Amino acid sequence: MHDDEPEVHWFKVINNSDATQKYIMFAPPPTPDFDTPIWQASDDIGNETSWEVHTTAPIFAGVGTQDGTQITVKDSGWEDSGITNGGPGKVFKLSFDGNGDPGLEDLGIVNDAGNTFSVSIEDLPDNGKTYVIVFGKRDGPKSDIIAPCASITAKPNTHQPVTPIIQLYFYNDSGTAGGLIDYDSLKDKAAHIDFAVHTPDASLCTVIHKTSSWETAYDNTLPNQE
């Protein structure tokens, strides 16, 4: 349980498409050079039923590996980015433990740029692995799993800034969390969720998936949390 992390946004997709569907959720890349992994993926959602997802407030900085089109971040690869309400995030150093697993060391420095954390990268192991810097979110306080929302390949002797865009999309497709997708080919076909441009203080977005369209609505009434 992570009850110390306040819940901020709930998402509900209602399947009115006349068919059983699977859904994925993904976020916009911070800049075009980032890749887009699936953040959450549903099981089968029957017609006239729904799928709910909700997030906690922290934005997490992470480091993991990419194998083909799959991004994997171990628990030890996540740290709180320090970004709160658009304020500046932390500066980290990419490091490796005794088992060779990557992690982020907090350097105790605050970024000059708002809504941004950054990672200082020195030499990388010559082991054939591709390391990635990511930002991620948790699916509610009852989940131990933080999943990546965007990733970029770590390059030696660089300093990588990450400015998360906290928007999401629903799309009817199958997949697994961490699996890379083609953001540009899906974004215009998906339901776009952006609380910043809708009802002030809204905390719930309901998306209705119809046969050939999406409808979205925002309000402040949360679903039953039992």
For the stretch 12-47, pLDDT in tens is 999 999 999 999 999 999 999 999 999 999 999 999
Structure tokens at 96: 């490796």
Structure tokens at 148: 């990546």
Q: Which two tokens stand for residue 212?
A: 């050939």
Residue 45 CB contacts under 8 Å (≥ 6 apart), including other chains: 13, 15, 20, 21, 22, 23, 51
The answer on pLDDT for 212 being more than 80 is: yes
Q: What pLDDT is recorded for position 116?
A: 95
User: How high does pLDDT run on average in the chain?
Assistant: 91
| Residue owning tokens 């907090």 | 106
Amino acid making up residue 42: S
Of the candidates 21, 39, 1, the residue with the CA atom closest to the CA atom of residue 169: 39
Rg of the chain in Å (alpha carbons): 18
Binning pLDDT at 50, 70 and 90, where does residue 1 land? Answer: very low
85: Cβ contacts below 8 Å, ≥ 6 apart: none
H helix count then E strand count, the chain: 1, 19
Q: Is the dihedral of CA 182, 134, 216, 55 positive or negative?
A: positive
Dihedral angle over CA of 65, 71, 77, 79, nearest 10:
140
Cα–Cα separations (whole angstroms), residue 77 to 149, 153, 171 = 14, 15, 28
Q: What pLDDT score does 84 carry?
A: 77
193 pLDDT tier (thresholds 50, 70, 90): very high
How does pLDDT run across 43-60, given as a tens digit for each residue? 999 999 999 998 888 899
Mean pLDDT of 72-94: 92
Query: b/e for 145-160, b at 16 or more Cβ within 10 A?
Result: ebbbbbbbebeeeeeb
Q: Is the pLDDT of residue 226 over 50?
A: no
* Least confident range of 29-38, 91-100, 140-149: 140-149
Residues making up the chain, counted from first to last = 226
Query: pLDDT band for position 225 (50/70/90)?
Result: low
pLDDT at residue 220, rounded to an integer: 79
Whether 199 shows a pLDDT value over 80: the answer reads no
